[in-house]
Amino acid sequence: MRDHYDLLVLGSGPGGQKAAIAAAKLGKQAALVDGGSMMGGVCVNTGTIPSKTLREAVVHLTGMSVRDVYGANFRVKEEITMADLSARTTHVVRREAEVVRDQLSRNRVDLYDGMARFTGPNSVVVEAPGLPARHLTADKFVIAVGTRPARPADVDFGSDRVVDSDGVLQLTEIPQTLVVVGAGVIGIEYASMFAALGTKVTVVESRPAFLDFCDSEIVEALKFELRDLRVAFRLGESVVKVQADEQGTVTTLASGKRIPADTVLYSAGRQGATDSLDLAAAGLEADKRGRLVVDKQFRTEVEHIYAVGDVIGFPALASTSMEQGRLAAYHAFGEQVNSLIELQPIGIYSIPEISYCGHTEDELTRAAIPYEVGVARYRELARGAIVGDSHGKLKLLVSTEDRKLLGVHVVGTSATELVHVGQAVMTCGGTVDHLVDTVFNYPTLSEAYKVAALDVTNKIRAASRFDV
Ligand SMILES: Cc1cc2nc3c(=O)[nH]c(=O)nc-3n(C[C@H](O)[C@H](O)[C@H](O)COP(=O)(O)OP(=O)(O)OC[C@H]3O[C@@H](n4cnc5c(N)ncnc54)[C@H](O)[C@@H]3O)c2cc1C
Ligand SMILES: NC(=O)c1ccc[n+]([C@@H]2O[C@H](COP(=O)([O-])OP(=O)(O)OC[C@H]3O[C@@H](n4cnc5c(N)ncnc54)[C@H](O)[C@@H]3O)[C@@H](O)[C@H]2O)c1
């Protein structure tokens, strides 16, 4: 392997992978550095992929998704263990890491096993236990080192009863009681998985509401379903201390309340993984949460160094990180490129899952944009009855001025897939009439689009009675 590259990428998560491959496709010599056991990044090893595989196993083994069909007591497996759940996860993680490794090597991206540290604006040293240090230089860099769970000092992580989103994957037993600290996406996804497994879950969140970037009616629907699974919410309450011993844990809130539980999942935010990069050697500085500032082209203040993915902050998704990586590499090598599309979907894999694209009702109301709402309930769709989801719903928000689709919000089975139909219409600037005129396969959940679109147009027609 060589010592000098056109592009050196630090981190093999979604952002780093796509940056390296994009550069290779442009005929550039690219290399990527990461710890060998982290191939695929947080995404493949501790974040997206294991959590989504675990969720799939939970939904399948508990029989959750078909209880409307076979009865509330239906179980696919009576005694579900952590080993049952993690068997599939281990397999999928290994397979995905292999896919990443294979894609990089067939694109002739050199892989370096270790952690990179800047020694100058154009040079790094790669260090790994038991391996000689490797000095590399490059014309351009992409920093894609991601984040790690935040670990405040007043939380006792010394015990295996207090875990973060990395440690939750190592639990050997399903806890009977669980406190989830932080109702961000990670907290809510894991709260719903454990609740579905029968764990009594308490969610503590310092803000008065959670997932407040989503449509409030959809979050209400999710909250209702989670309460039905015995989840208790302590909203507007901050955790000040978490203690643990062999018997269990106690979580203390600022209000003085103390909540005992077998296990605590601490999911109150993440920290950029920049502290070991020696950014100063490259002329860079991170903010106090370890994150880097970039411009619209993902360039840091040092012109030849780009940063993408979770290390640059919001929206911190695998989906957007990939696109940022590709765009950064294209920009670095002068390839004609569009900027990152603004209309991006959000998918939250709670049970039930929720997803949306475009504006929420609150946003439109605040901006005084007149809109009408159309709703389709899964219980009125033949596919809803077949799959046994009577709670799901899809909601369309449509401009009453030009009939353009402004937002789509879904809660229920396949929400994260369904959202893309609305996203495609919105991306093309389409109106609700496109959906009214479309013939959908029957019986499908996608048919919800037609039902909701007709609902909107009926309401708009009724309201236009007094138009001159
Ligand atoms: C529990 C959980 C669930 C999630 N679920 C979803 C989801 O459903 N959908 C979604 O879109 N997103 C999800 N995310 C977010 C998603 O995982 C991240 O947005 C994505 O992984 C960020 O990609 P990245 O390119 O920033 O790199 P990351 O995946 O964060 O990987 C960074 C890599 O950089 C490496 N690295 C760190 N320091 C160095 C160094 N000095 N030298 C070399 N390498 C280094 C690390 O070892 C790591 O492998 C989830 C995250 C978590 C934690
Ligand atoms: N499906 C998905 O797309 C998906 C899934 C999981 C994670 N992610 C991404 O991973 C990132 C990290 O997620 P996260 O959930 O860890 O972080 P987050 O920062 O979104 O949520 C942390 C929550 O903890 C709360 N909190 C902080 N300190 C607290 C305290 N002392 N007591 C009580 N509550 C407290 C915060 O108010 C916040 O709501 C996010 O950017 C998210 O988008 C995405």
Q: Which amino acid is present at 442?
A: Y
| Confidence band for 468, pLDDT divided at 50, 70 and 90 | low
Q: Are residues 142 and 205 in the same domain?
A: no
What's the pLDDT score for residue 63?
84
| Confidence band for 438, pLDDT divided at 50, 70 and 90 | very high
Measured from the CA of 253, which atom of ligand 2 is nearest? 32
How many domains would you assign to the chain?
3
| Confidence band for 78, pLDDT divided at 50, 70 and 90 | confident
Residue 418, domain member (yes or no): yes
Q: Are residues 49 and 181 in the same domain?
A: no
| Confidence band for 71, pLDDT divided at 50, 70 and 90 | confident
Q: Are residues 254 and 206 in the same domain?
A: yes
Mapping DSSP to helix (H, G, I), strand (E, B) and coil, where does residue 276 land?
Answer: coil
34 has which bridge partners? Answer: 113
CB of 168 shorter than 6 A to ligand 2: no
How many Cα atoms sit within 13 Å of 381 on the Cβ side? 29
CB of 16 shorter than 6 A to ligand 1: yes
Residue 42, domain member (yes or no): yes
CB of 186 shorter than 6 A to ligand 1: yes
* pLDDT exceeds 90 at position 406: yes
CB of 349 shorter than 6 A to ligand 2: yes
CB of 164 shorter than 6 A to ligand 1: no
Task: Confirm whether residue 310 is marked as ligand binding.
Answer: yes
Give nearest CA residue, ligand 2 atom 17: 269
How many A from CA of 228 to the centre of ligand 1? Answer: 32
Give nearest CA residue, ligand 1 atom 2: 47
Final residue in a domain of this structure, among 213, 234, 268: 268
* pLDDT exceeds 80 at position 339: yes
CB of 31 shorter than 6 A to ligand 1: no
pLDDT, mean over the chain:
95
Smallest-distance ligand from the CA of 207: 2
CB of 328 shorter than 6 A to ligand 1: no
Final residue in a domain of this structure, among 268, 288, 314: 268
Smallest-distance ligand from the CA of 323: 1
- Read off the CATH number of the domain in which 426 is found: 3.30.390.30
Q: What is the pLDDT averaged over residues 413-429?
A: 97
Q: Are residues 314 and 457 in the same domain?
A: no
Q: Are residues 275 and 263 in the same domain?
A: no
CB of 202 shorter than 6 A to ligand 1: no
CB of 415 shorter than 6 A to ligand 1: no
Mapping DSSP to helix (H, G, I), strand (E, B) and coil, where does residue 433 land?
Answer: helix
ipTM for the assembly = 0.94
Residue 340, domain member (yes or no): no
How many A from CA of 361 to the centre of ligand 2? Answer: 23
Residue 343, domain member (yes or no): no
Which residues form the domain of 405? 352-464
Listed in sequence order, the residues at least 6 apart from 48 whose beta carbon sits closer than 8 Å to its beta carbon are: 42, 318
- Give the integer Cα–Cα distance in Å for 232 and 209: 14
- Read off the CATH number of the domain in which 185 is found: 3.50.50.60
Q: Are residues 22 and 140 in the same domain?
A: yes
pLDDT in tens, 187-210: 999 999 999 999 999 999 999 999
Smallest-distance ligand from the CA of 125: 1
Residue 157, domain member (yes or no): no
Smallest-distance ligand from the CA of 318: 1
- Nearest in space to 389 (alpha carbons), one of 57, 65, 58, 63: 65
What's the pLDDT score for residue 251?
97
* pLDDT exceeds 90 at position 77: no
How many A from CA of 129 to the centre of ligand 2? Answer: 32
Smallest-distance ligand from the CA of 165: 1
Q: Are residues 51 and 170 in the same domain?
A: no
Task: Confirm whether residue 21 is marked as ligand binding.
Answer: no
Task: Confirm whether residue 114 is marked as ligand binding.
Answer: no
Q: Are residues 28 and 137 in the same domain?
A: yes
| Continuous segment of H or E residues that includes residue 409 | strand 405-411
How many A from CA of 12 to the centre of ligand 1? Answer: 8
- Would you state the structure tokens that stand for residue 149, as one six-digit string? 């769970």
Task: Confirm whether residue 422 is marked as ligand binding.
Answer: no
How many A from CA of 240 to the centre of ligand 1? Answer: 27
Q: Are residues 53 and 180 in the same domain?
A: no
How many A from CA of 291 to the centre of ligand 1? Answer: 13
Q: Are residues 44 and 143 in the same domain?
A: yes
Which contacts of 150-156 are long-range, i.e. CB under 8 A and separated by 24 or more positions? 150/268, 150/269, 150/270, 150/271, 151/266, 152/268, 154/240, 154/241, 154/242, 155/181, 155/239, 155/241, 155/242, 155/264, 155/266, 156/242, 156/243, 156/244
